[in-house]
Structure formats: structure tokens, C-alpha cells
Structure 1
């Protein structure tokens, strides 16, 4: 069975590693595959270190956008070790559904539904890097009866605090923030400190829909590899 490596950004916040570790445990249980985590920054082990011990692995990027890391960094490292790189979760309906669940849980804890929602993504300055967040906004808007707008924690505008303030200025009183973020870190901490938010959704790593996406990506990559082997054998 091929190794499965989750490629994550990494964070200096200990809770981030714990959240991704729980996701890896779930994927390992669902697939029976050897699962490891490789980090792009802040944490060890690094992605190159992990792949050096697992040549030919399937790499699943756990990035909610297709910015520089997803399109340049990860493929470059994977090529060095003959690893297959799958698509990330960016733009998938499962992400929006997980976002919806997290938002609803936060609203229940706050005492009721919001009357406007800000979807806060990490942000990217790379062309197309914010497409995953924008798609999640459009998908979430079809599930909610209230206005849904976008904000970014870095690199793009508007920042979440500004988006929340704008909605308040328009007359909305219960403004919630849906965190389009994978794991706890400095961005989730900043969202929790925005004044006058009604509720803030938890990050998505622990949601079963994320684990399901990883399993599907891994299964697809293994099936593709088998098909290529069959063609070569013929």
C-alpha cells in the first residue's frame, strides 16, 4: 500500500499540530494506509524530510487555497522523490458544507443564527490563490438565508475586522465569522479577537468531510497509478 503524506503549511501554535494529527489518525483508520504529515513552515518534520523516507508516496495538500505553496512548492518537492501530488480541497462543496456545520455550531453556542456572515480565508497575493475562499463564499451563500461576504486574514482585502465593521454599518447586528481555515493558529486567534462578532466558527481540520476528501484524493491517485501500470504492462 502506498504511503500517504499530508502536506500542511504548519504553525507555531501547538493546537495546529494536534488538529492535523487527529485528521491524520482518522485518515489512517479509514484507509489502512501509512499516513505521515510534512510541513512547509514553522514545524517539523519538513515535507522534504518526510518524502525522502517515502519515495513514490501520494501527497495530498491540505491547503484551502491554490496559492504559491500548492502550485509551486509542493510539486517541486514531490518531483524530487517521484511522488504523486493530488488536488487539494480548494473549491470542493465538502469544504463549504463543513464550513456550514462549523458556523451553525458557533451560532447555537451564541444563542441563535447570525443575520450576516463573513467568510474569512487565509488570503493570497498569487493570481487564483483566493479562488477556494471565493468558491466557499458562493457555495455557503446558497445554504444560508443571510448575506455572506468575503474577507482575508493576510495578503488581500478586506481584512475580517473591516468586513465585520462594514456589515454593522449597514445595520446588521448579529455578524458571524466563518473561518475558512484548516487549523488553529494566529489567524484563528485574530478572528476570535474581532470586536462585536456574534459567533466565530472553528477551523475545519477536525471535520469528517475533510477526512473524506483526503481519502477520496488518495484513492483516486492509487487508482490512476494502477491504470498506468496496466497500460504499461499491456
Structure 2
């Protein structure tokens, strides 16, 4: 990328877990190697906020939401932050998920946790009151089911039902001897920690930083700065 290309702003939820913060910083650092300097902002828990980062620059900016489903934070928080910043030229891309790239990483994480074909799988998501986000989670579950060739049940760890622990228990009752949780979370934090209390035989690590996820972020950025590749769902804010 050259100096005339738009800046890249990676926006995540935010966590008080230092390892979660470090993971987002690592992701941004690796994206910088392929897509140019990448700044980070958070919509909750800690700062800087997207509005604060955007106010610090008048350079055209591509904002990539580092979310696995498009719910309240993507549809409400991000547009509000852009508006409050007063920035004159911001393109907001699609969120990271759902995406086949993430489904493949989920399979790798499950194998690393000890999952074997035939074991039951629960996709654990944070949850949302936004029906669009729940639809995205169902799409992610279908992608994972296609790769694992098994039925993937969905459980929520923060908002919504059924809860992860209830799904694990239901699978035990119906006769599944080994149950594994696929963590549909980007980084370690409070939500991922709760999964170890749900009674599964194994809990896969969060998605974290992989070459394929770094490339996914870069792909969202490149699509936004190349009109021929720009998806119809991208949001452009100009004043």
C-alpha cells in the first residue's frame, strides 16, 4: 500500500483481559504488514473509541469492524461513533464474520482441543438481541457443520438462549458421550472464560490471530478501496 491509500481502523469490542487486548494489538500489527498502518479502537470497556481515533486524522479511512456477527455494535455503535467524530470520509466494511475463513479456523481450534469426528459440537457465541446478529451466528454454524460433517448446535454465553451449558447438558441427555465447544469469539476474555464452566469435554481456543484472519481483514480493506470490489453492504460516510 502507498501513502495515498486510506487509513485502516480496526474496531473491536474491548475487554479488560490483558491477553485479549494484546491479541487485538497483534492482529492490527500483522495487518499493518500487508495493508498498511493499522490503528485500533474499541466500542466498549476501554479506549480509545472510534470517534477519538477518527478525530485525530483527516485522512480518508476504512473502518473494519472486528466482530463475528453484525448486531448492535456494528449497526448502531459504529455509525454513531463515525457521526460523532465529524470525520469527512469513512467507509465501514462488512464485519469479519460470518466467513468461511473463520469456519476453517474453528475446525483447527477444535482439533487442537481434542475433538474427533463423531464428537458433538456446540458453537458458543456471545449472543445478541439483534436478529441480524443471530442470523449471522446461524450462518457460521452451518459453515462449521459443513466442514465437520456433524450437526452443530448453537449456545450463547452472554445474551440470548439457549445457554451454552444447557446445550451441552441436552447433548449429554440424548446420548452424546463427548461434547466439545467451538468458541466463536475473537479473543480471550470474560466470555471465553465462562465456557470452561459449561461441562464440555473440551473448549477450543478463541479464533485469535492466524494468517488467514489477517488476510481476511486485509481483504475487507482492499474491497473498500477498490470500487469494483466494494460490496453493496459497505457503508460510506461523507460530509
| Same fold by TM-score greater than 0.5 | yes
- For residues 74-223 of structure 1, the aligned pairs below 5 Å read 74-79=78-83, 80-81=86-87, 82-107=89-114, 112=116, 115-195=119-199, 197-223=200-226
Deviation per CA, 1:97-138: give whole Å up to 9, x if none: 111111111116xxx556100000110011212122111111
Q: How far apart, CA to CA, are the structure 2 residues paired with 1:127 and 1:216?
A: 26
> Displaced runs of 4+ in structure 1, greater than 3 A?
none
SS in 2 for 1:164: helix
TM-score after normalising by structure 1:
0.89
Q: Distance in 2 between matches of 1:207 and 1:179?
A: 15
CA distance in structure 1 between the partners assigned to 2:136 and 2:6 by the alignment: 28
Matched, 1:51 2:64: no
TM-score by length of 2: 0.87
Structure-2 change in CA distance of 1:76 and 1:224 (3 Å): farther
Question: Residues of 2 paired with 1:54 and 1:60: CA distance?
Answer: 16
Q: 1:23 aligns with which of 22, 27, 32?
A: 27
Structure 1: stretches of 5+ with no match in the other structure? 228-234
Q: Distance in 2 between matches of 1:181 and 1:54?
A: 30
TM-superposition CA deviations, 1:194-234 (whole Å, max 9, x none): 22x1211111131222211110011111112999xxxxxxx
* Aligned residues: CA RMSD: 1.8
The answer as to whether partners of 1:8 and 1:37 remain within 8 angstroms in 2 is yes
Query: SS at the partner of 1:65?
Result: coil
Aligned length: 222
- Provide the rounded CA distance (Å) in 2 between the counterparts of 1:178 and 1:116: 10
Equivalent residue in structure 1 for 2:11, among 7, 11, 24: 7
1:193 Cα offset (Å):
2.3
Contact 2:117/2:148, CA 8 A, preserved across alignment: no
Deviation at 1:15, TM superposition (A): 1.0
**Segment of structure 1 superposing worse, 60-69 or 147-156:** 147-156
SS in 1 for 2:114: helix
Of 165-174 and 88-97, the range deviating more from structure 2:
88-97
Deviates more, 1:62-71 or 1:75-84: 75-84
Query: Within the alignment, does 1:61 sit opposite 2:74 as a pair?
Result: no
Q: Which runs of 5+ in 2 are unaligned?
A: 231-239
Partner deviation per Cα, 1:68-117 (whole Å, 9 max, x = no partner): 11011112322431311011112211111111111111116xxx556100
Task: Give distance in 1, aligned partners of 2:109 and 2:212.
Answer: 12
